[in-house]
Amino acid sequence: MTALAVVGAQWGDEGKGKVVDLLADRADLVVRFQGGNNAGHTLVVAGRRTVFHLIPSGILRPEVLCVMGQGMVIDPRVLVEELDRLDASGPLDNARLAISDSAHVILPHHLILDRLREESRSGSVPVGSTLRGIGPAYEDKVGRRGVRVGDIFRPEQFARILSATLNHWRPLLEGRGAEVPDVSSVVEETGRLAARFEPCVTDTAGLIHERLEQGARVLLEGAQGALLDVDHGTYPFVTSSNTVSGAACAGAGLGPRHVGGVLAVVKAYTTRVGEGPFPTELPDAVGERLRDAGREFGSTTGRPRRCGWFDAVAARRMTSVNGATSMAVTKLDVLTGIDPIRVCVGYEIGGGPARGFPMRDMDRVTPVYREFAGWNEPLGDIRRERDLPPAARAYVDVLSELAGCPVSLLSVGPGREQTIQVADPFGG
């Protein structure tokens, strides 16, 4: 296998960061292919908790090259903050990080627009934006008025593009009483920040292909989850990019033949941050227990996550859309002590069974549940599948069967070492 794509198969926060960090020990490159600092990947290594919003999760592996692909949108200020935090533990070798010169840049007006847009929805249901400027940055990208990383280092070109872009947005900004950013100030400040990571900026697509020709093994890291995909998710309560495995090719610069497998990551239950339909949500004591035991608070926003039972209908749809070759189940340990455990195995609409996957009617469906026995034994020290309590093993088998995908990894705690390998995700 040349490349393995790691994607979320729920509404994000599935534990992709831990999975990528674990598998990076067997990879040469980790490539983040979409999204921006609206994502947050949490790693726990030797008891130390680290959160990355932009830099790929393989950065804690000293032999791995981390790549920020052209499908990303990058806030220079946030990137510099992450680099500074890494440097606090020892200077980061610039040769270990590659940043696409074609990735688009999040600029001050994007944050202003994001805030204004969310405020304008106050009379209706807000989308739940993280207010990081992600959507407006992608909007400038598809509108062909965006600034790319490579433009930052050509100040005259940067100023020309930004001036035209701000002229496009000026009526909206001034109409809402917002200050239009000064072009020269933005160019100067962004250039100052970019000097920090300029040695890392390169043609990442060409770099990835060079390494593949040398036999490198590549991990493709997605952000958010498939149910937040702008085409396949619960629209309009979605993110602004494609989060499914198919986006890995465009966002990294690879052809489909280079991707040999897809690892879909799911929690043993389901969570969601922000607004939008969530059929299995538990607004009760069980939901609170899951939130507390699983530390379910957004690593980007700090917002409490909505918690609910595992939705096997949604999971099966998303493993199918992603072409998943195996599945990683995380936070199995959080379910310890809950008995019975329920799993959504179907939907009803208007008192009758729903047909297919009713994405347009997700706010109207009623989940149909099956109950399964729980367990009381702690799982954190277990390293072999056969040592799991019988009820836990049976539960994992049920999730695999209902989602239509074999399980390759089980996470039984936040630590890197608290993982059970059931099969090789790389297919070896």
Q: What are the catalytic residues?
A: 13, 41
Distance (Å, whole) CA 352 – CA 282: 22
Q: Are 158 and 146 in contact, with CB atoms under 8 Å apart?
A: no
* Residue among 266, 281, 282 at smallest CA distance from 400: 266
Residue found by looking up tokens 């949604």 in the block: 314
Which helix (H) or strand (E) segment holds residue 41: the answer is: strand 41-45
Secondary structure element (H or E) that encloses residue 109, with its range = helix 108-120
Enumerate residues 6+ apart whose C-beta is below 8 A from 231. Answer: 242, 244
3-state helix, strand, coil in the chain (%, to 5): 35, 20, 40
Cα–Cα distance between 235 and 229 in angstroms, integer?
Answer: 8
Q: Give the whole-angstrom CA distance, residue 76 versus residue 99.
A: 11
- As a whole number of angstroms, the distance between CA 390 and CA 378 comes to 13
- Distance (Å, rounded) from C-alpha 416 to C-alpha 22? 6
What is the rounded distance in angstroms from the CA atom of residue 210 to the CA atom of residue 302? 39
The Cα–Cα gap between 258 and 208 comes to 11
